[in-house]
Amino acid sequence: MAFNMVKYVACAALRGVVLLFFISVVVFALVNISPIDPVSAYLGAHDGGVSPEQRQEVIEYWGLDKPILERYGIWLSSVVFRGDWGMSSIYRQPVIKVVGELFKASLTLMGISWLLSGILSFALGVIAAVKKGTWIDKVIKAVCIALASTPSFWVGMVLILVFAVWLGVLPSGLSAPATKLAADVTLWDRARHLILPVIALSVNGMGYIVLHTREKLIKSFESDYSLFAKARGEKKWSIIRRHNIRNVLLPAITLQFASISELFGGSAFVETVFSYPGLAQAAVNAGLRSDIQLLAAIAIFATIFIYAGNIIADILYVIVDPQIREGYHA
């Protein structure tokens, strides 16, 4: 099994490298054909007061006078051979430093949201299946259907309206109080600013996993081994724990890890609504202001993040499922 697992991971890593190459090509191509002028985006409000000579200096400084293929080749060789991801035209700092700082904030937001979403989705799916046909089941299904058709940014705006504007009990945005220095910000300050974004991002994709878990568990209840266990006098929760949880847990794990891509996409809206300084919001800004090196780095790191989630899901599937594990031994 160990050899086959190593072989699988090695093949997956090779496919990942090829995928990253194509992602970088697509990013450079899309920015190149974008109608946004990178020089005007870089100069911003000062664009009208810049002379043609100064504008040409900006073009030469950022290498915009070179063909796109040459610029891509220079960037790729710098990344591969020197680990230099270039400079961000928005932040005026090395790209790798910007990505590192923003990734910490995004990872905190997405990590907590992902865990909360997974635990709540599985728990609600199990409760809905156990209480099939009751008012509890109907309420859970109604809420899940509503969440499935509700965009995360709308949920975020409603949360801001209720808890920040009407009740005034939670902050409406940012990752820390704007009136405090970074050294004075406490853990509680950061936690309070995370509550609303985490809730808004957690509900993204929850509905489908809850309903899927519910259906799987109901089918497991109706299986022969569950009926046999019931006939032997086992209680319902005992049957669930001993016979049904594993069958429900496998698809739940797969769906939860597969939802990482949706989580990253939803975080772009959530971070924008709450003005949260994270990686997804930086990607939006980089696209709107043609910061091609920052956008390429974010796209590559996001791809690694999502791709790694899918590989981990496959590995956990093998660990949890004895039948698949036997196939690896064979």
Low-confidence winner among 8-17, 116-125, 258-267 (lowest mean pLDDT): 258-267
* Residue 238 confidence (pLDDT) above 90: no
What per-residue confidence (pLDDT) applies to 12?
A: 85
- Note the pLDDT of residue 134: 92
> For position 75, what pLDDT does the model report?
92
Long-range pairs for 308-314: beta carbons < 8 A, 24 or more residues apart: 309/257, 309/258, 309/260, 309/261, 310/257, 310/258, 310/260, 311/9, 311/12, 312/257, 313/253, 313/254, 313/256, 313/257, 313/258, 314/8, 314/12
> What is the per-residue pLDDT across 12-70, written as a single tens digit (0 to 9) for each?
889 999 999 999 999 999 888 888 888 888 877 666 677 788 888 888 888 888 888 99
Say which amino acid occupies 230.
Answer: K
Q: How confident is the model at residue 173, as a pLDDT?
A: 82
Mean pLDDT over the full length of the chain: 84
pLDDT of residue 2: 60
Residue 268 or residue 161, greater confidence: 161
- Under the banding of pLDDT at 50, 70 and 90, the label for residue 3 is low
Q: Are 109 and 198 in contact (CB under 8 A)?
A: yes
Q: How far is CA 277 from CA 92, 211, 237, 271, 304, in A?
A: 16, 33, 44, 7, 21
- In terms of DSSP H, where are the helices of the chain? 2-33, 38-43, 52-61, 68-77, 95-130, 135-148, 152-159, 187-202, 206-221, 224-231, 236-239, 245-258, 260-273, 279-288, 292-320, 322-329
Q: How far is CA 299 from the centre of its chain?
A: 12
Res. 253: pLDDT tops 70: yes
The pLDDT of residue 184 is 81
Measured distance CA(33)–CA(35) in Å, rounded: 6
The string of pLDDT tens digits covering residues 120-159 is 999 999 899 888 889 999 999 999 888 878 888 888 999 9
Instruction: Encode pLDDT of 292-323 as tens digits.
Output: 899 999 999 988 888 887 788 777 766 665 55
Least confident of 13-17, 85-89, 242-246: 242-246
- Whether the pLDDT of residue 325 is over 60: the answer is no
Proportion of the chain above pLDDT 70, given as a percent: 93
Alpha-carbon distance 190 to 46, whole Å?
35
Q: Which tops the pLDDT comparison, 203 or 182?
A: 203
**Amino acid code (one letter) for 79:** V
CA distance 64 to 293: 12
Opening angle at CA 271, ends 253 and 281, nearest 5 = 105
- Lowest-confidence pick of 71-80, 83-92, 130-139, 214-223: 214-223
* 94 phi/psi in degrees, rounded to 5: -55, 140
Tell me if 246 sits within 8 A of 320, measured CB to CB.
yes
Lowest mean pLDDT among 106-110, 166-170, 233-237: 233-237
| Radius of gyration in angstroms for the set of CA atoms belonging to the chain, rounded to a whole number | 24
